[in-house]
Amino acid sequence: MKAIAIGLLGLGTVGSGVVKIVENHQDKLIHQVGCPVNIKKILVQEPAKERCVKVDPGSLTSNPDDILDDPEIDVVIEVMGGVEKTRGYLLKALNNKKNVVTANKDLMALYGSELLTAASENGCDLFYEASVAGGIPILRSLVDGLASDRITKMMGIVNGTTNFILTKMSNEGLAYASVLKEAQELGYAEADPAADVEGLDAARKMAILATLGFSMKIDLDDVNVKGITAITEEDLRYGKQLGYTMKLIGIADRSGDKVEVSVQPALLPDAHPLASVNNEYNAVYVYGEAVGETMFYGPGAGSLPTATAVVSDLVGVVKNLRLGVNGSSAVTPQYEKKLKQPEEVYSKYFLRLLVKDQVGVFAEITSIFSAHSVSFEKILQLPVKEQGLAEIVLVTHHSSLKDYEDILMELRDMEAVNQIKSSYRVEGSVRQ
């Protein structure tokens, strides 16, 4: 049995996990694929550096060509991160007829179509399961398990950092800044957390999910993105009073031949399955015309969960290699991209207003909503410390985004409205 030789680009958190799984699960891998799987070369910046995982020092190199140009290496696993330089490495690997496994969501969101085209042209596999939800096999489920169904909506929590922050804020009544600091100290958030808290990380993942789930090339620029930095303890408290839990939600929704893809803080009914997904965990809710509703749940990050997804992709590549069918599984997008316009996007909305405490103000506000045929599902009127002011919290029935944005503009122009304090989408109806 000829061993399959692997080249590993990167030996950080995920790379170390890949090494551990390949070494510790070698008997299972041999049983799965029918031959040994060996990591021949590992690209690192500093070969002499002390590491948390034991590897043969002779397998370490700082020269990528030792992997990319080695004719004996069959599969390149990329877990080094980065975009432009990494893109060059993977294009070279594919052009050298090497199969590729990557966990790089940034790369796949920006250059996925280019890399998949290169893989197809060279008869190679390019698998990227770990790029979206760590250890959750969501991409494989969409491509294989739900291949016969028509996906109409995917909605989920795909960023563990923001979910940890919102869980702590909600459960302990803490301010955003203090919870972010704790998340950084625990290693859940980077020193510069912008990609997570501004929603960009989740947006990249939703672009990948939507491209696969809808068979339509969705680019990062097609995703409407709003982060969590403006969420206050009051937003969460009033949401709770009305029976909602706040989450950063990625939404990919298809109606007919048009799609909407967004990432934004949204309020979910407490009884919705996603509302109970806490801390660093991820979950994706998938709606199919035939299967109905399914949910995929698990750890969205971490060394071994993410490495498990990477090695699962490796198993798929090696099975194809032994069957001689690498490159045959790539499917180009089937449909032309058509994005929904604001008048075609429907949702409920949560709105907090600070208004003058005068007779007739609420009637004036109601008339603005009525003019756009938008009614209220829930209303709270709350006392405030500022004299002569009142706070109103509303949840609307379904409205088009266009109508809702027009309503917000008219409210801002109203003399009696002191401030629009916050506004969020309300998602996830619950079956009784």
* Lowest-pLDDT choice from 96-110, 164-178, 201-215, 302-316: 302-316
* Lowest-pLDDT choice from 143-152, 295-304, 326-335: 326-335
**pLDDT for the residue numbered 146:** 82
16 or 143, greater pLDDT: 16
CA distances, 378 to each of 98, 287, 361 (Å): 58, 27, 18
pLDDT band for position 330 (cuts 50, 70, 90): low
Q: What is the mean pLDDT of residues 82-106?
A: 96
Residue 245: pLDDT above 90? yes
357-362's contacts with Cβ under 8 Å and 24+ in sequence apart are 357/388, 357/389, 357/390, 358/416, 361/390, 361/416, 362/392
Q: What is the mean pLDDT of the chain?
A: 92
- Partners of 395 in the beta sheet? 350, 378
Buried/exposed code over 249-264 (b: 16+ C-beta within 10 A; e: otherwise): bbbbbbeeeebbbbbb
Q: Which two tokens stand for residue 423?
A: 């506004």
**pLDDT for the residue numbered 331:** 65
**pLDDT for the residue numbered 189:** 82
Q: What is the mean pLDDT of residues 129-135?
A: 83
pTM of the shown model = 0.89
Residue 335: pLDDT above 80? yes
pLDDT of 189-199, one tens digit each?
Answer: 888 999 999 99
pLDDT band for position 432 (cuts 50, 70, 90): very low
Residues with catalytic function: 205
Q: What is the mean pLDDT of residues 56-61?
A: 94
305 and 299 Cβ atoms separated by less than 8 Å: yes
316-321's contacts with Cβ under 8 Å and 24+ in sequence apart are 316/125, 316/127, 316/140, 317/75, 317/99, 317/101, 317/125, 317/127, 318/4, 318/33, 318/35, 318/37, 318/74, 318/75, 319/32, 319/33, 320/99, 320/125, 321/4, 321/74, 321/75, 321/99
Buried/exposed code over 217-233 (b: 16+ C-beta within 10 A; e: otherwise): bbebebbbbbbbbebee
Domains for the chain: give ranges and CATH numbers: 4-134+303-323 (3.40.50.720), 138-299 (3.30.360.10), 342-426 (3.30.70.260)
pLDDT band for position 384 (cuts 50, 70, 90): confident
CA dihedral 316, 148, 110, 102 (to 10 degrees): -10
